[in-house]
Structure 1
Amino acid sequence: MQIRDLKKQLLRPAILVLCIGAACSAHALSLVVDGGEIAGVLAVEIQGQSYDVTFTDGSFNDAYPAGLNGYGPLARDVAAALLAASEDGAISADPKWQPGLQLRGCEGDGSCTILIPDHSGGEAPVAQITFAVEVIYSMGQFRSVTPKLWPFDASTDTKHMPDMLFAIITPAR
């Protein structure tokens, strides 16, 4: 009986330490809020690497650096990390977060689609078609990631599409 009590006494603090550790690592990311809009998410953790994600309007060919043809598997990993950060509360725990924040470039009614290029037919600035992972942002949270890559014209400017924007991924500094 005393061994069980000892296990319970030791197990509770161990679980507490694990929970605090998980919360601290989940909160390592940070929102970039500018002019009342989320311009980016810093320090998104992907397999031990940290990435910054910025949101922008434009076309694939104008928004991305010359020679880029997509992010490959990193596109889906970043999308999943953004979704996980919303689900585990890391996004809403950021001190800059507030209800109703929209993403920079999102003028849609209630939700927006974030395009994260996986691969393209050609490279920026002359790609023809690009295939993207789509992340849905709605009611202040990243809500879902489409299971299928969607093709679109790489010269289409999302400034003319109020509910779509691009995500640019860079290694964190």
Structure 2
Amino acid sequence: MKRIIMISTLVLATFFIAMAPYSISTQNDDNHDIVSIAQDTDNLSTLVAAIEAAGLVDVLKGDGPFTVFAPTNAAFEALPDGTLESLLMPENRDQLVKILTYHVISGEVMSGDLSNGMKAGTVEGSEVTITLGDFGVRVNGANVEAADIDASNGVIHVIDAVILPPQDNSGY
């Protein structure tokens, strides 16, 4: 019993320490939509630049609700050299939109709603798979670093990798 209490305390402490970089002021929750929270979070500045380049700002400021799996700056930096720069070019906007909308689920999905092996349809049209285990929560293999960041139009879960939609190998 003592061990369970100690482990639970350690897990909660780790969660609150991990959440610290994602804390924002919520004095006026009506103005803290998904985009505003990302803009106020230094560790999500690359995501904000990608959202702007893709022309998705107004969509993600909309009514929602949305669930966004938000890759950190480090997640974008881990992409192969030149990938991010290429995606941010106007001629690659369609590909960027496809990747970013693969990180969005229509509706609000909180961490307590998740189950191991759960599949969730994305705005892009494909599904992501949620895995729960000793390692924590993963979305298509990306680790959830911070969960349940409440926004006026949904929720943000910060992840440590950029997840990519499945390739269309149909030849069309």
TM-score range, shorter chain: 0.3 to 0.5
Relative to total residues, which structure has the larger helix share, 1 or 2? 2
Scaled by the length of structure 1, the TM-score of the pair is 0.33
Scaled by the length of structure 2, the TM-score of the pair is 0.33
Relative to total residues, which structure has the larger strand share, 1 or 2? 1
